[in-house]
């Protein structure tokens, strides 16, 4: 067994690998860029080596520097994690030639299967059912349009070295194919250093289901059941679960055996994933093989009770697989939500900056630990007060639950999301909560078009369902009364002018149209002054009990005898007098006033927000990589104005209305802040 390994990665996956290595008694070496000098993976490792500047092409994609770090520290093996160099056969080969063990498949397996074009050809030769398309690299956008027409729209334009949704576009017409080809090449070049692109038929209403395989150097290959990964946005997975609620035992077995046959054909020796697109009749087609550990591997670990990172390390050290196919378990139901630094209410724009507060829900399962299952697990590479840099992908954490069955796992995940406190940046937690509550998701009736179908016009606050919205109003009133009770006990108050607690209040909330809604409430103690309040809202009464300290963002308690977890904060948002209440993805900002205060508020004049329609402002922090127009140019609604690169993705800004470009105040190559003016319209 190795004495020391280097992790050629960052973020949560580097932390994940370090935990298993520590469990196995193996010393670890982290590598880091300028942006990551204070990162969590650097702190967790036994040693750390600086490998370059913040952009990944100047650090984490520098193979020679990583190999030099191995030699400098005496690391005998390299674990590449996912992304970066994990599927780069040149890197794997170089590592092997330097006498260092690559904790992953052999370079020839990566060459055969990691390359999307080569893997498709090999699958055809092995008589694996594949999707029609053009499997050779395409040189020009014009040729891409010709091929797309031959294959028949819709088509999928994919980077050969792609992964994680990078370098992938769906085209429904010639314009989509032309523009998509150019964007794919640029993203692929920036993310993977390989700009080859190919085209295949896009199967409509598909499911994305993948099989986890594991092979050793002794010819043994097994499959560890499947993962359902159909809930995707812009081809990036949002929620993954194991097993799939869709496929039958017969389909599971057929897919598993086909995945094993494919792995054996390339002498596969490590953990890998064979991805399939599955039709509604359970017909399935080989899509691609990921020759690395997947982001969503924890759901497989939960239902099988196996540590996949440990098995990868043991196989790389030459050990035989410790189990045969008949020994693979499938116990319970696991779901993973990817918690991303993005604002779902602003079209999922990247959100970077400092994590002012980061409090994950209480963990009862842990990465690298298969003894404690059936609970909650958080895999993350960040910490309270840390920075989310703009140079890497947007994932903050992975939230994993393992329940008895699917309904139990969904309920556990909704509660865990309620208790996940993230402040300082925006996160997609409200969107995750809405997905988990959607009737079609709960029924298991979805495909890869689910998010586009239900949230095609974006995601808005009113899209978040809540089975009892009056509870949020009641909780605001209850917490406000507790603040009043504390204030009433402060000593030294002027006699006759002390704070009175009161029982009659009005909760004022903004509706979807920005109008104030005034809701009278009554709040009384029902078990003495112990933090227990009976709140009447209209015809409903809520008996709320909570011992949560005032000022804590996460409030746990009981309402009408049932447990709840919610988030409550005072003095945030647009109104410093308001309480922000969040529960099951729904959020309100509520001012709790006296009846007289409510009457006076109704008399206040309305202040309209300023008109910003004549400005194009940056919706996110990022790098301005292109300005597509000139001063004085006439533009039409929908025309491309600029391109901003953030978190490894290109974000195109379009004109929202016809107009004439006036002054351009930002230059190509400039780093932009949120709401920085890029150009003005005349």
- Quickly tell me which residue has 């045969």 as its tokens: 324
Question: Greatest CA span in the chain, whole angstroms?
Answer: 91
Reply yes or no on whether 569 is catalytic: no
Where do the DSSP E strands lie in 516-594? 516-525, 532-537, 540-545, 554-559, 562-570, 579-583, 586-593
CB 598 within 8 Å of CB 518: yes
Quote the CA–CA distance of 646 and 68 in Å, as a whole number.
29
The 3-state DSSP class for residue 253 equals helix
Q: Token pair for residue 572?
A: 């945030």
Q: Token pair for residue 324?
A: 């045969």
Selected catalytic residue, list 200, 210, 241, 288: 288
- Quickly tell me which residue has 């697990």 as its tokens: 377
The 3-state DSSP class for residue 235 equals coil
Buried b (16+ CB within 10 A) or exposed e, 370-385: beebbbbbbbbbbeee
The 3-state DSSP class for residue 181 equals helix
3-class SS shares of the chain: helix, strand, coil, % to 5: 30, 30, 40
Quote the CA–CA distance of 25 and 46 in Å, as a whole number.
12
In angstroms, the first-to-last Cα distance of the chain is: 69
Q: Token pair for residue 599?
A: 């009457």
The 3-state DSSP class for residue 371 equals coil
CA angle 316, 335, 383 (to 5 degrees): 75
Residue 134, phi then psi, degrees to nearest 5: -110, 115
For residue 573, give every residue at least 6 positions away whose Cβ sits within 8 Å of its Cβ, in sequence order, or none. 580, 589
Torsion of CA 311, 313, 318, 320, to 10 degrees: -10
Quote the CA–CA distance of 587 and 574 in Å, as a whole number.
14
Quote the CA–CA distance of 573 and 566 in Å, as a whole number.
17
Q: Token pair for residue 553?
A: 């963002």
Strand partners, 236: 233
Q: Which of 430, 417, 396 is nearest to 554 (CA)?
A: 417
Quote the CA–CA distance of 67 and 88 in Å, as a whole number.
14
Neighbouring CB atoms inside 10 A of 530's CB total 11
Quote the CA–CA distance of 651 and 197 in Å, as a whole number.
20
Question: Which are the catalytic amino acids?
Answer: 288
């Amino acid at each position: 067994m190795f004495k020391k390994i280097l992790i050629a990665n960052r973020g949560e996956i580097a932390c994940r690998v370090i935990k298993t290595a520590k469990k196995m008694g193996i010393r670890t070496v982290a590598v880091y860029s300028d942006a990551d000098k204070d990162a969590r993976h650097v702190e967790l490792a036994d040693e750390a080596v600086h490998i370059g500047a913040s952009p990944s092409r100047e650090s984490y994609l520098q193979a020679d520097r990583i190999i030099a770090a191995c030699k400098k520290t005496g690391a005998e093996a390299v674990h590449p994690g996912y992304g970066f160099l994990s599927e780069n056969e040149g890197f794997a080969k170089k590592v092997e030639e330097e006498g260092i063990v690559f904790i992953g498949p052999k370079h020839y397996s990566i060459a055969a299967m990691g390359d999307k074009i080569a893997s498709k050809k090999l699958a055809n030769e092995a008589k694996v059912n594949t999707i029609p398309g053009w499997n050779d690299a395409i040189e020009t956008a014009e040729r891409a349009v010709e091929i797309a027409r031959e294959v028949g729209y819709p088509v999928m334009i994919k980077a050969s070295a792609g992964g994680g949704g990078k370098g992938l576009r769906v085209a429904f017409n010639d314009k989509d194919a032309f523009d998509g080809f150019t964007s794919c090449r640029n993203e692929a070049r920036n993310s993977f250093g390989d700009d080859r692109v190919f085209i295949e038929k896009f199967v409509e209403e598909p499911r994305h289901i993948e099989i986890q395989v594991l092979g050793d150097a002794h010819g043994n290959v097994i499959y560890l059941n499947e993962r359902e990964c159909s809930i995707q946005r812009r081809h990036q997975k949002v929620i993954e679960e194991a097993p799939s609620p869709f496929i039958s035992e017969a389909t599971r077995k057929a897919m598993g055996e086909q995945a094993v046959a494919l792995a054996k054909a390339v002498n596969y020796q490590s953990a890998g994933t064979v991805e399939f697109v599955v039709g509604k009749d359970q017909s399935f087609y080989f899509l691609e093989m990921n020759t690395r550990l997947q982001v969503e591997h924890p759901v497989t670990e939960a239902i099988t009770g196996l540590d996949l990172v440990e098995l990868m390390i043991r196989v790389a050290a030459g050990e035989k697989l410790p189990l045969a196919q008949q020994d693979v378990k499938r116990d319970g139901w696991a779901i993973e939500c990817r918690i991303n630094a993005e604002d779902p209410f602003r079209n999922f724009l990247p959100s970077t900056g400092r994590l002012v507060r980061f409090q994950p829900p209480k963990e009862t399962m842990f990465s690298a630990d298969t003894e404690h299952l059936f609970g909650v697990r958080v895999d993350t590479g960040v910490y309270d007060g840390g920075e989310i840099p703009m140079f890497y992908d947007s994932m903050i954490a992975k939230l994993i639950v393992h329940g008895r069955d699917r309904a139990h796992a969904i309920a556990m995940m909704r509660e865990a999301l309620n208790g996940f406190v993230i402040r300082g940046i925006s996160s997609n937690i409200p969107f995750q909560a809405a997905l988990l509550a959607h009737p079609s998701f709960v029924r298991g009736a979805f495909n890869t078009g689910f998010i586009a179908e239900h949230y095609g016009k974006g995601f808005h606050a009113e899209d978040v369902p809540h089975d009892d919205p009056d509870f949020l109003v009641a909780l605001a009133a209850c917490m406000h009364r507790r603040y009043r009770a504390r204030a009433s006990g402060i000593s030294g108050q002027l006699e006759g002018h002390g704070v009175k607690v009161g029982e009659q209040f009005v909760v004022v909330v903004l509706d979807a149209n920005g109008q104030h809604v005034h809701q009278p409430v009554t709040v009384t103690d029902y078990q003495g002054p112990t933090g227990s309040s009976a709140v009447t809202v209209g015809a409903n009464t809520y008996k709320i009990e909570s011992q949560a300290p005032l000022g804590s963002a996460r409030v746990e308690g009981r309402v009408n005898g049932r447990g709840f977890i919610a988030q409550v904060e005072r003095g945030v948002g647009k109104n410093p007098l308001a309480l922000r209440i969040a529960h099951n993805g729904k959020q309100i900002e509520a001012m709790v006033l006296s009846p007289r205060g409510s009457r006076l508020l109704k008399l206040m004049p309305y202040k309209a927000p300023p008109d910003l329609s004549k400005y194009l402002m940056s919706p996110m922090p990022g790098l301005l990589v292109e300005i597509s127009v000139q001063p004085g140019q006439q533009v039409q609604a929908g025309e491309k104005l600029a391109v901003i690169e953030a978190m490894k993705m290109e974000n195109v800004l379009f004109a929202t209305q016809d107009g004439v470009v006036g002054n351009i105040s930002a230059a190509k190559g400039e780093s932009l802040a949120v709401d920085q003016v890029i150009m003005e319209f005349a």
